[in-house]
């Protein structure tokens, strides 16, 4: 049975423990405000949720630590096809989601770590193909579907609106989740995209949302090994 790292990512996102430092590309070249700073905290969050999940594509990258877990992300969420790289506990995957098809590739060391030496030798360095119903890799479908991902970036306590500030040249307003002390920064010019999500010192991290609408979706790998056929052929 292969280790499943992604539910941990979802849990940490839902708790609001991540931090994002981003130059928001494609947000707006205008200096005029969008009126978000004058709204209530919950209205700002709702506006940012709708704006972010409605884009055709966005680049998501960064890293965070929680206990002994050190997770890094670098991928594109797209309405057509998503994918990129995810690392967790020293295991690094390249993953692509196209419809209900999941493509995944790990080095021999990664596959050995997750599934044993035989699997590492057989599957390491190769693109593998399966579906979102696969019990080992189906969870990736959620993080690579932007509306599903945004659903996990939800406050767990009361939201408090902070003062307007600036994140790497982007005017923003902060929304602090009082139960976890995580702060989401939302653009106050152009569309109210999510810009930065800052977590508490005990669970530091950095996640970036940028290249809104311009991030390029990954290509579908050629010659991928079909895991379902492979398992069937080996009597698994």
Q: Beta-carbon neighbour count of residue 94 at 10 Å?
A: 19
How far apart CA 83 and CA 67 sit, in angstroms, is 26
Between CA 92 and CA 96, with CA 94 as vertex, the angle to 5 degrees is 145
Per-residue model confidence (pLDDT) at position 231:
60
How far apart CA 184 and CA 197 sit, in angstroms, is 4
Q: Say if CB 94 and CB 78 are below 8 A apart.
A: no
Could you tell me the pTM of the whole model? 0.77
66: Cβ–Cβ under 8 A, 6 or more apart, which residues? 8, 12, 17, 203, 205
Domain ranges, ordered by start, for the chain:
18-229
- The H helix count followed by the E strand count for the chain is 7, 12
Q: Is the dihedral of CA 137, 89, 2, 15 positive or negative?
A: negative
Whether domain 18-229 has CATH 2.50.20.20: the reply is: yes
How far apart CA 190 and CA 170 sit, in angstroms, is 10
Compute and round to an integer the Cα radius of gyration of the chain. 19
Tell me which DSSP letter residue 38 carries: G
Q: What's the average pLDDT block by block, 10 residues per block, for the chain (236 residues)? A: 39 35 36 90 95 90 77 86 87 90 91 84 91 76 76 81 89 87 88 84 76 92 85 48
Per-residue model confidence (pLDDT) at position 13:
38
Reported as type and span, the H/E element at residue 91 is strand 91-98
């Amino acid at each position: 049975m292969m280790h499943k790292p992604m539910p941990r990512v979802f849990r940490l996102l839902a708790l609001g423990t991540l931090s994002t430092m981003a130059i928001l590309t494609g947000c707006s070249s205008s200096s005029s405000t969008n009126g978000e700073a004058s709204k209530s905290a919950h209205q700002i969050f709702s506006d940012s949720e709708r704006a972010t999940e409605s884009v055709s594509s966005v680049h998501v990258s960064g890293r965070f630590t929680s206990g002994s877990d050190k997770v890094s992300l670098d991928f594109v969420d797209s309405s057509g096809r998503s994918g990129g790289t995810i690392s967790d506990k020293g295991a690094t995957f390249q993953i692509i989601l196209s419809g209900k098809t999941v493509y995944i590739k790990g080095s021999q060391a990664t596959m050995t770590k997750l599934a044993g030496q035989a699997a590492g030798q057989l599957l390491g360095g190769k693109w593998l193909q399966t579906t979102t119903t696969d019990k080992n890799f189906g969870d990736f479908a959620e993080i690579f579907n932007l509306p599903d991902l945004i659903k996990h970036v939800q406050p767990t306590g009361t939201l408090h609106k902070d003062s307007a500030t600036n994140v790497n040249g982007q005017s923003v307003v902060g929304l602090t989740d009082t139960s976890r002390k995580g702060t989401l920064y939302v653009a106050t010019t152009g569309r109210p995209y999510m810009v930065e999500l800052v977590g508490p010192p005990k669970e530091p991290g950095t996640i970036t949302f940028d290249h809104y609408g311009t991030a390029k979706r990954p290509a579908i790998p050629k010659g991928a090994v079909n895991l379902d056929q492979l398992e069937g052929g080996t009597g698994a």
